[in-house]
Amino acid sequence: MKLIVGLGNPGKEYENTRHNIGFMVLDELAKSWNVSFDKTKFNAEYAIAYHGGIKYLLVKPTTYMNLSGEAVGKFYDYFEIDIEDILIIYDDLDTKTANFKLKAKGSSGGHNGIKSIISHLGTEKFNRLKIGIDRPTPPMKVVDYVLGRFSKDEMSEIEKIYSKSVNCIEDFSKMSFVDLMNKYNIKKISHNYRSNNQ
């Protein structure tokens, strides 16, 4: 069984905000798999999906971002899910808008939802799919930026990565996470390599 969690804030006022990109990607996944979030448990909306012979729990915590770990921890314990079978999808200020990055472990990086999950799982070693939203231009505050909605141009770029995100999540059950990162993470060419080959 795989536990796929999208982070965000519940309610109409937060729909399509940058902080809700985890919800948005999970909604696209559910649409692709023809399932709906018609169940509630542990302060979360969730769907059960079977894809490629694998059972998935698609979970959207409804506790608001800062308490996301409450729902994740309860699903993890109740369904006795292996830690390596968890994938958390969320917004990342340090990645360019509409790019994404897979990461196998690490600190919260200041993200309160991830901080809560680390607290409730008792470990930093869980898989993440970080969707880039870029950083705000000063003097805009980060809190106002992440709770703001994507511009029309940004939304156009975000929509282009939905299918890639769905493919990535589908591959999550088919290969090791190291192989998944090698396949989907953008490769950076080192300065020395460029210098030696100009």
Q: What is the 3-state secondary structure (H, E, C) of the chain?
A: CEEEEECCCCCHHHCCEHHHHHHHHHHHHHHHHCCCCCEECCCEEEEEEEECCEEEEEEEECCCHHHHHHHHHHHHHHCCCCHHHEEEEEEECCCCCCCEEEECCCCCCCCHHHHHHHHHHCCCCCEEEEEECCCCCCCCCHHHHHCCECCHHHHHHHHHCHHHHHHHHHHCCCCCHHHHHHHHCCCCCCHHHHHHCC
Annotated catalytic residue 51 = no
Q: Which one of the listed residues 19, 51, 111, 120 is annotated catalytic?
A: 19
Catalytic residues: 19
